[in-house]
Amino acid sequence: MTRHVLFVGHTGRDEALKAVRTAAARFAAAGMTVRVLADEAAELDLPDVVVVPHGEEAAAGCEVVVVFGGDGTLLRAAQLARPSRVPILGVNLGHVGFLAEAERDALEATVDRVVACDLVVEERLTLDVTVTSDGDLVTRGWALNEASVEKASRRRMLELVAEVDGRPLSRWGCDGVVMATPTGSTAYAFSAGGPVVWPEVEALLLVPISAHALFARPLVVSPDSVLAVEVVTPGAGVGVLWCDGQRSVDLPPGARIEARRGKQPVLLARLHSAPFTDRLVAKFDLPVRGWRGRAGKDGSDPPSA
């Protein structure tokens, strides 16, 4: 039986093209079939691959979606992998690459681990998002990292009322609000002043952006809570909803945005079982010199940063 992997890459970068071609050759040598997206196939120019249309069926039947790029590319790949419940394995070619598991210099070993089925798969909580206006559905979507409600114009503040579990919380004049998952806590929510939440913690986050209010603290709520934001700024074209910074919709006056735990998680493939603390230290280059810890007691090694 033929084994398949889907490649998703940042094709505009030479480094990504080289990595894709190296990995494709190694998978082919192991007898595995590589799929590529139709809109990336010409630039990748790979021999003996299967070209598939960009859509919900692209990853069906694959063992893993291998992503070459940064977190933005991985979030794009999540849209393809989630419908078929195929795990995503990121090869970091970006800067921080928080969601990526492998680095470019370990590419060959990464391919070998996939071939050997030597992966650990994690389920990551997602958000299901709906937008309504006067009770009518405007759109629905989902996010792995966050759903953010933002002002459409730099010159105008956004007036929002935040709600948790059907009860009003506060009204803010602000630049926007981020509703995030634990996975997204180290992304937009982090830059807006939100807390870092360990990925195994089941919770939702609500983080106001530059709010002019006495009470405008980041909130961590139950994973079963429903977060809502209502746009009370008068006039059209005042707000925009972004899901994972990838998909946007303009918000009409009076729009109501609800975010709740998604019915379908995203699967992330892992090569290492290192604690999340070590990932934070490595990705953010945190200073830990001088730490003694328990290395002399249980034989564990301190982080290298």
Last residue of a domain, one of 81, 98, 124: 124
Whether 50 shows a pLDDT value over 60: the answer reads yes
Q: Helix, strand, or coil here: 14?
A: helix
Domain that holds residue 243: 127-261
pLDDT of amino acid 265 = 97
Q: Where are the beta strands (DSSP E) in the chain?
A: 4-9, 33-37, 50-52, 64-69, 88-92, 102-103, 120-124, 127-133, 136-143, 146-151, 158-164, 167-174, 176-180, 204-209, 219-221, 227-231, 239-243, 247-251, 256-261, 266-270
Confidence class of residue 81 from pLDDT cuts 50, 70 and 90? very high
pLDDT of amino acid 154 = 77
Residue with tokens 């209010």: 213
Query: Are 102 and 139 found together in one domain?
Result: no
Query: Are 132 and 206 found together in one domain?
Result: yes
Helix (H) or strand (E) holding 25: helix 14-29
Q: Comparing 50 with 274, which gets the higher pLDDT?
A: 50
> How much of the chain, in percent, has pLDDT values that exceed 90?
76
Query: What pLDDT digit, counting tens, does each position of 105-156 carry?
Result: 899 999 999 999 999 999 999 999 999 999 999 999 999 999 999 998 877 8
Q: Comparing 238 with 178, which gets the higher pLDDT?
A: 178
pLDDT of amino acid 305 = 47
With respect to residue 302, please indicate whether it lies within any of the assigned structural domains: no
Query: Are 120 and 135 found together in one domain?
Result: no
Query: Are 177 and 237 found together in one domain?
Result: yes
| Count of domains observed in the chain | 2
Query: Are 151 and 245 found together in one domain?
Result: yes
**pTM score of the predicted model:** 0.91
Whether 181 shows a pLDDT value over 90: the answer reads yes
With respect to residue 284, please indicate whether it lies within any of the assigned structural domains: no
pLDDT of amino acid 293 = 87
71 is catalytic: yes
Least confident range from 84-88, 125-129, 153-157, 248-252: namely 153-157
With respect to residue 23, please indicate whether it lies within any of the assigned structural domains: yes
Which of 70, 207, 87, 86 has the alpha carbon at shortest distance from 147? Answer: 207
* pLDDT, average across residues 60-67: 97
* pLDDT, average across residues 224-252: 90
> How much of the chain, in percent, has pLDDT values that exceed 70?
95
Catalytic residue among 14, 45, 48, 71: 71
Last residue of a domain, one of 90, 124, 158: 124
User: What span, in angstroms and rounded, lies between the C-alpha atoms of 43 and 20?
Assistant: 11
Confidence class of residue 235 from pLDDT cuts 50, 70 and 90? low
With respect to residue 178, please indicate whether it lies within any of the assigned structural domains: yes
Query: Are 110 and 175 found together in one domain?
Result: no
Say which CATH number the domain at 159 has: 2.60.200.30
110 contacts 89 by C-beta, under 8 angstroms: yes
Query: Are 156 and 92 found together in one domain?
Result: no
Query: Are 81 and 166 found together in one domain?
Result: no
Query: Are 32 and 120 found together in one domain?
Result: yes
With respect to residue 16, please indicate whether it lies within any of the assigned structural domains: yes
pLDDT of amino acid 152 = 87
Last residue of a domain, one of 261, 278, 296: 261
Task: Take residue 59 and report the two structure tokens written for it.
Answer: 């990853």
* pLDDT, average across residues 245-253: 92
